[in-house]
Structure 1
Amino acid sequence: MASDQEMQQYPIKDDPTKDEGGTRYDVTDMDRMGKAQQFRRNIRPLAALSFSAVLQATWEYIMLSDYEGLQDGGLAGMLWTYVWSSIGFGFIIVSLAEMASIAPTSGGQYHWVSEFASPKYQKFLSYVTGWMSVLAWQAGTASGNFLTGTIIQGLISARDPSYDPKGWQGTLFVFAMILITYIFNVYAAGLMARMQNLLLATHILCWVVVVVVLWALAPLRSADDVFTEFQNFGGWSSMGLTVMVGQLAAIYGCLSSDACAHMSEEIKDAGRYVPIAITWSYFANAIMGLVALIAMLFATPSVEAALNDDTGFPFIYSFKQATNTAGVNGLTAIILIPVIISNILFNASTAHQTFSFARDRGLPFSTWIAKVDQKRKLPINSIIITCIISCLLSLINIGSETAFNAIVSLNVAALMFSYSISMSCLIWRKIFHPHTLPSARWGLGRYGLAVNITGWLYVVFALFWSFWPESAPVTTETFNWSVAIFVAVFLVSLVAYLVQGRKIYDGPVTEVKNHEF
């Protein structure tokens, strides 16, 4: 149970629904998990769906980050890896949604591990999962800001071919994007919550505009080219291997629908509507992403020319085929607007996940990180930490031409690791102790175990390929440095556990009421 000091720091109000906008189900869930209601529940069901859909931004990210997919697989490789990645992720998403209904908390994976794992191992597994989950979401936040900052730099190249883009200049653009996310999440958080439905409409409208322009104005490839033409520009020894390596771009586009789970403590009736938001937003975004990807692939006359475009972004090359320079700037802005909004929401979700792990004393300086601004009802210190880490990760761009690939790989690998542990714990409990699982208001029924196992198998598959470099032969310039960061953070988590964690970290399950093993 929580200590007296913690109870004083996080007092539970007599009626949380009165001041914070929750329902009786929210009160029951928070009470069962032993957590105080510290945030305003000002995100309603439709707004939660909007939050999840806009944050994931599948169609935007699948277009913006298609370089590796085109390099390692060509048109057909990019298409089919997206198809199987979106199907594989579907099993993951519904499994995460089920866990989010059982335990609707900002902690997400590390909390679920703590609840579902064997009592013998829950403390250690939850602690390590928390560290890797923090790493995953921090890297994901950094990747979105990195994309928007470097794309703005790419637009300068499109307008002025004589411009020689430098890594440090791109990093400064990234810093500017991070500053924007900080300002919105600290000073306009209430406005963002009220504008969620409008943001969803923007997400859909921008998709319609981009798809229509590409289909109507760009010279189109044949269906045979798009669906059957695989190409290998990465230097790998076989086409099968190159397609496997190239799928990282597709996997990246499928990430982050579960971000809504980390906002559970701000969503009204979270046990019911968080899983609905996660699943509906994912599958709707997957379809929109497929349509946008096909439109872009048809509008790409030459994969080689797209990869060698001066801007460094193949999607800008595709836009050039459909319109002039002003049109390219306009279409790119149409994509950047929802992506910048996605970055703002991503930062908020990441900050809440980091706050939650600190609240359970899983991070250094936990007391400071877990502090909530009582006026704004926001984890401002956690937001600051998230912005600082994004800045630090963006510095990779100064010394490496494959910086974005490293950050994306880090995001994918750490997230897949946290998914694998939480899903394996759920599977273990369903098989050996199903009667101890708390009831869920959104579940998978009798097919749940089969769905969980299928999703777990895909997680392991994606994790294996996430560390591969984007091209061969592997040199210091093309090496995927994400593996070094991943291993370093993993080792730090082990050391932190031995030195401090095993003494002060008990895991959320110790605060859960009526928990049976």
Structure 2
Amino acid sequence: MGYKSELVRTRSTWHVAFMSFVLASIPYGLATTLYYPLQGGGPAVVIWGWILVSLIILCVASSLGEITSVYPTAGGVYYQTFMLAPARIRRVSAYICGWCYVVGNITITLAVQFGTTLFFVACVNVFTDEDGNGIWGGEAGPPAWQIFLTFVGVTVVCNIISTCGNKYLHHLDTFAIFWTFAGIIAILVTVLAVAKQGRHSAKYAFTDFEPTSGWPAGWSFMVGLLHAGYATSSTGMVISMCEEVQHPATQVPKAMVITILINTVGGLLFLVPLMFVLPDLAMLVGLANGQPTPVIIKSAVGSAGGAIGLLLPLMVLAILCGVACTTAASRCTWAFARDGAIPGSQWLSQVHTKLELPFNAMMFSMVVQIALGAIYFGSPTAFNAFSGVGVISLTLSYAAPIAVSMLEGRRQVKGGKFYLGQWGWVLNIVALAWSCLALPLFCMPAYVPIPVQNINYAPVVLVGFVVIASAWYILWGRKNYRGPPTESVGLHPTASNQAADINPPNKKD
């Protein structure tokens, strides 16, 4: 592939599948964004939205797996776009895809850390004072500075675990999947068995549709898909781990597809019981913290102690998800930087020899996340921006290699070990159709009319990154950026690549 092998290959197929599972962190990823489908229409959006998006993402995962079986590098979809695109648009398409991939990885990691913060606050506040207000912040909730400092603490902890425990992360991922299903089963059995407020009928749990977002009914359902879109947006992030995987051409594609199937089942086991014990929908939608899951579980079990016991598995999974996202974001940033495509690339492309990981890229990602987290001081719905930009950017980056592969008649993937045959065209079309929908959909506010302080900043953050990427390309990339150092397409390493010792003679992986 033209790169020096610098990272240690310690992961098997199941290790990759488990990490991919932890990146999505079902049920945690569904718990933190449950507000969106409840406001978008209630149980029908929750259940059928999850099934619909899971089927779509299965198409995306299969399409990306097919391409990854041919080009398994840490550069992921960026490298794949460069290799698959026609020569006339190779550089620019890879550059755009790479920036979308890096921005998506960083902002979805930010969304996870911020979502964990808000979720932790909601979990603590299942305990209330004599007036019925949460013990952390009372009726108004914690002040913004406390939320921000908690977010910083969560982010730093995840970076410390990812850095210091790098050699043992695959064991942590293995633990996580068993921990997750133990937690799901505990929630499923307990809430249905206890059900202090009674149980709804199956008709209500699967078909009730009461949109309260202010959008027309059809579009309200679509906006509610952010719930499932956010939880499944990490599908292609695991490709960045290819250079730490044994036999990635076969293991990573299989792991990506296996994970979607596991996630779909795990998501239904978590969501369906909650819909049967759902308390008043208007009350849940009106929650100031936007975190209905702790309230639903407390209502079902009837006590704060019981609720926190069932929420504990989700709280642990939240940290594990943050660690996995932090790891993946650092790898993709490092991979893009070693081709000179990011300001400060020579520094960002270095691998720490003792830690055996791209430490500089990890610290860069952390600093960007903390800086963007300050948006919360201006908007209490900042989480919308982080999750929206993450989903949009990752979805677009996944679409790029699929689109250019189709543009070339899918001829370059025919020799892969995960070739989809004629079904590949159908799966590719579905994946691209989802990408076209995601761009406008996740820039929309969750409800209308919306006050100025609650505006969705996703378009603003996205445009900000576009400006930075465009400026860097005009000032430096137009003359210097040449893409991956791949001799097979007749190109040679750029000066910056040579300086970083990326493609030394006789040391190609």
TM-score (norm 1): 0.89
**Partner residue, 1:261:** 239
Any idea what the Cα deviations from partners look like across 1:455-492, whole Å, max 9, x if unmatched?
A: 11122122231111111114422321110111221132
- Whether the 8 Å CA contact 1:409–1:482 is kept in 2: the answer is yes
Change (3 A) 1:156 1:451: closer
1:364 aligns with 2:356: no
- Whether the 8 Å CA contact 1:309–1:317 is kept in 2: the answer is no
1:129 aligns with 2:81: no
- Which piece of structure 1 moves more, 130-139 or 392-401? 392-401
Any idea what the Cα deviations from partners look like across 1:32-81, whole Å, max 9, x if unmatched?
A: x1011100001122211211112211322112211111112122122222
From 211, 224, 243, the counterpart of 2:188: 211
**Partner residue, 2:119:** 151
Q: Secondary structure at the match of 1:111?
A: helix
Deviation at 1:209, TM superposition (A): 1.5
From 63, 68, 88, the counterpart of 1:95: 63
Deviation at 1:311, TM superposition (A): 5.2
1:106 aligns with 2:74: yes
Deviation at 1:493, TM superposition (A): 1.4
TM-score (norm 2): 0.90
**Partner residue, 1:493:** 469
Deviation at 1:92, TM superposition (A): 0.8
**Partner residue, 2:431:** 455
**Partner residue, 2:226:** 248
From 461, 480, 488, the counterpart of 1:513: 488
Letter in 2 for 1:457: A
Any idea what the Cα deviations from partners look like across 1:66-122, whole Å, max 9, x if unmatched?
A: 111111212212222222111111111110111111111111111111011111111
- Which piece of structure 1 moves more, 211-220 or 348-357? 211-220
CA distance in 2, matches of 1:392, 1:294: 37
Q: Secondary structure at the match of 1:257?
A: coil
Deviation at 1:342, TM superposition (A): 1.2
Report matched runs for 1:163-174 at 5 Å: 163=138, 164-174=141-151
Q: Secondary structure at the match of 1:281?
A: helix
**Partner residue, 1:484:** 460
**Partner residue, 1:17:** none
**Partner residue, 1:443:** 419
Letter in 2 for 1:513: S
- Whether the 8 Å CA contact 2:379–2:455 is kept in 1: the answer is no
Q: Secondary structure at the match of 1:137?
A: helix
Q: Secondary structure at the match of 2:10?
A: coil
CA distance in 2, matches of 1:124, 1:301: 51
From 51, 62, 69, the counterpart of 1:83: 51
1:299 aligns with 2:299: no
From 452, 462, 471, the counterpart of 2:447: 471
**Partner residue, 2:496:** none
CA distance in 2, matches of 1:165, 1:233: 26
**Partner residue, 2:40:** 72
Change (3 A) 1:512 1:54: farther
- Which piece of structure 1 moves more, 202-211 or 267-276? 202-211
From 341, 349, 355, the counterpart of 1:376: 355
Deviation at 1:453, TM superposition (A): 1.6
Deviation at 1:127, TM superposition (A): 0.8
CA distance in 1, matches of 2:462, 2:436: 16
Any idea what the Cα deviations from partners look like across 1:114-151, whole Å, max 9, x if unmatched?
A: 01111111101111111111111101101111111122
1:189 aligns with 2:166: yes
Taking every aligned residue pair, what percent have the same amino acid on both sides? 25
Report matched runs for 1:265-304 at 5 Å: 265-304=243-282
CA distance in 2, matches of 1:515, 1:58: 43
Deviation at 1:310, TM superposition (A): 6.2
CA distance in 1, matches of 2:271, 2:117: 22
**Partner residue, 1:200:** 177
CA distance in 1, matches of 2:324, 2:439: 25
Change (3 A) 1:198 1:414: same
- Which piece of structure 1 moves more, 60-69 or 194-203? 194-203
Q: Secondary structure at the match of 1:234?
A: coil
Change (3 A) 1:483 1:100: same
Find runs of 4+ consecutive structure 1 residues off by over 4 angstroms. Answer: none
CA distance in 2, matches of 1:380, 1:212: 43
Any idea what the Cα deviations from partners look like across 1:367-389, whole Å, max 9, x if unmatched?
A: 11111011121100111111112
Give structure 1 stretches of 5+ with no counterpart: 1-32
- Whether the 8 Å CA contact 1:107–1:262 is kept in 2: the answer is yes
CA distance in 1, matches of 2:413, 2:209: 46
- Whether the 8 Å CA contact 1:157–1:310 is kept in 2: the answer is no
Deviation at 1:495, TM superposition (A): 2.0
**Partner residue, 2:500:** none
CA distance in 1, matches of 2:362, 2:476: 24
- Which piece of structure 1 moves more, 477-486 or 270-279? 477-486
CA distance in 2, matches of 1:201, 1:491: 43
**Partner residue, 2:504:** none
Q: Secondary structure at the match of 2:44?
A: helix
Any idea what the Cα deviations from partners look like across 1:202-236, whole Å, max 9, x if unmatched?
A: 12222221222222222321122222221122222
- Whether the 8 Å CA contact 1:53–1:285 is kept in 2: the answer is yes
Letter in 2 for 1:137: N
Give structure 2 stretches of 5+ with no counterpart: 492-509
CA distance in 1, matches of 2:289, 2:103: 30
CA distance in 1, matches of 2:164, 2:67: 32
Letter in 1 for 2:218: G
